[in-house]
């Protein structure tokens, strides 16, 4: 699938350029905002919307002025209904106001008018849920993402597409071989490369590649977008694994951590210290 990038290829405000600037200024780190019950307990907070709000706003207050990207996991807010979504709206607003880019971790995937609605919800600045980027699933066919990619380009935002994920069930689909001999994951990687053609320093369409996947034999070299690398810390991967997984593509990697940083809370100074150390460790490996 190709996307017309002529109107934005030279625009410094497109998502790839803004992400590159944020990483250069703040280091290569994405911190998840995942108020799951275990962390609420560990922080001494209640398992309700009040606890979620206290948790999320503490993370934003501690880290939004320091890290490149904050990644709220929408499901942990959605479970509390409209009041939880209201907290998420405030998290997005406050994090962006403090200078962090916000990646909405929603992993949406659908077709037609439904995907148009998701694009409007998460990529259109008119929506209170709009961040700087969102995650999406391409497994209804990469072409089903067209409304998201069009909206991202129109509004200078980004989309991170699931490619090689860190969950153990992923290879069943992602390593399956398509009719042309490529794996399903490779077809996604190649489609992302086409969508990002013409952008500098890289395009608005990124790929999620887990830091735990090891050397899979997939060709990442053509991708001209950022890689989001979850699976670090609590899921077992280390900074050194980034070199093995991404090789020469590692300079475009955005390492993503959640529990490894969030366990340092609720003390704000501890959160900042752990995040700064992680960013330094990743920068040394990704240089």
Q: Which distant-in-sequence residues (6+ apart) come within 8 Å of 168 by Cβ?
A: none
Give mean pLDDT, residues 235-260. Answer: 93
Grouping H, G, I as helix, E, B as strand and the rest as coil, residue 247 is: helix
pLDDT for position 121: 98
Q: Does residue 187 sit within a domain?
A: yes
Q: Does residue 6 sit within a domain?
A: no
Judge if the upstream peptide bond of residue 195 is cis by omega within 30 degrees of 0. Answer: no
Average pLDDT, the chain: 94
DSSP E strands in the chain: the ranges are 30-33, 69-72, 101-108, 133-136, 158-164, 205-209, 227-229, 253-257
Q: Does residue 7 sit within a domain?
A: no
Domain of 184 in residue numbering reads as 15-286
For residues 125 and 135, give the distance between their C-alpha atoms in angstroms, rounded to a whole number: 17
pLDDT in tens, 62-82: 999 999 999 999 999 999 999
Decide: 194 and 200 in contact? Cβ < 8 Å. Answer: no
User: CATH code at 135?
Assistant: 3.20.20.70
For residues 201 and 161, give the distance between their C-alpha atoms in angstroms, rounded to a whole number: 18
Q: Does residue 2 sit within a domain?
A: no
Give mean pLDDT, residues 92-121. Answer: 98
Q: Does residue 205 sit within a domain?
A: yes
For the question of residue 107 being annotated catalytic, the response is: yes
Confidence check: pLDDT of 7 > 50:
no
For residues 274 and 252, give the distance between their C-alpha atoms in angstroms, rounded to a whole number: 22
pLDDT band at 13 (very low <50, low <70, confident <90, very high): confident
Q: Does residue 221 sit within a domain?
A: yes
For residues 186 and 48, give the distance between their C-alpha atoms in angstroms, rounded to a whole number: 41
Decide: 16 and 225 in contact? Cβ < 8 Å. Answer: yes
pLDDT for position 11: 42
pLDDT band at 8 (very low <50, low <70, confident <90, very high): very low
pLDDT band at 233 (very low <50, low <70, confident <90, very high): confident
CA dist list (Å): 174 to 7, 57, 117, 165, 184: 33, 36, 27, 8, 5
For residues 221 and 186, give the distance between their C-alpha atoms in angstroms, rounded to a whole number: 11
Confidence check: pLDDT of 139 > 60:
yes
Give mean pLDDT, residues 83-96. Answer: 98
Confidence check: pLDDT of 89 > 80:
yes
Q: Does residue 40 sit within a domain?
A: yes
Question: 72 or 11: which carries more pLDDT confidence?
Answer: 72
Confidence check: pLDDT of 61 > 70:
yes
Specify the pTM.
0.94
pLDDT for position 235: 81
pLDDT in tens, 179-199: 999 999 999 999 999 999 999
pLDDT in tens, 234-246: 788 999 999 999 9
Q: Does residue 8 sit within a domain?
A: no
pLDDT for position 4: 40
Per the structure, the count of domains in the chain is: 1
Decide: 52 and 34 in contact? Cβ < 8 Å. Answer: no
Q: From the candidates 21, 36, 107, 222, give the one annotated as an active-site residue.
A: 107
Q: Which residue has the tokens 């995040």?
A: 275
Tokens of 233: 């810390």
């Amino acid at each position: 699938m190709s996307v017309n990038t002529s109107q934005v290829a030279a625009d410094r405000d497109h998502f790839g350029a803004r992400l590159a600037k944020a990483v250069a200024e703040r280091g290569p780190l994405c911190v998840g905002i995942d108020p799951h019950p275990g962390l609420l307990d560990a922080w001494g907070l209640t398992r309700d919307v009040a606890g979620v709000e206290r948790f999320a706003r503490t993370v934003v207050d501690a880290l939004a002025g320091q890290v490149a990207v904050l990644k709220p996991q929408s499901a942990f807010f959605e479970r509390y209904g409209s009041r939880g979504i209201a907290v998420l709206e405030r998290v997005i607003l406050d994090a962006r106001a403090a200078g962090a880019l916000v990646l909405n971790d929603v992993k949406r995937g659908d077709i037609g008018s439904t995907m148009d609605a998701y694009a409007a919800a998460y990529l259109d600045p008119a929506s209170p849920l709009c961040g700087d980027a969102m995650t999406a699933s391409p497994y209804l066919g990469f072409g089903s993402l067209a409304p998201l990619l069009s909206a991202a380009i129109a509004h200078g935002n980004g989309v991170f597409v699931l490619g090689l994920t860190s969950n153990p069930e992923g290879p069943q689909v992602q390593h399956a071989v398509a009719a042309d001999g490529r794996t399903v994951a490779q077809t996604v990687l190649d489609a992302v490369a086409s969508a990002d053609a013409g952008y500098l320093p890289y395009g608005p369409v990124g790929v999620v590649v887990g830091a735990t996947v090891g050397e899979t034999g997939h060709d990442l070299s053509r991708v001209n977008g950022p890689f989001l690398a979850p699976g670090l810390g609590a899921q077992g991967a280390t900074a050194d694994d980034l070199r093995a997984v991404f090789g020469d593509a590692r300079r475009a990697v955005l390492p993503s951590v959640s529990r490894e940083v969030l366990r340092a809370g609720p003390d704000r100074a501890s959160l900042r210290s752990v995040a700064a150390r992680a960013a330094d460790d990743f920068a040394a490996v990704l240089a």
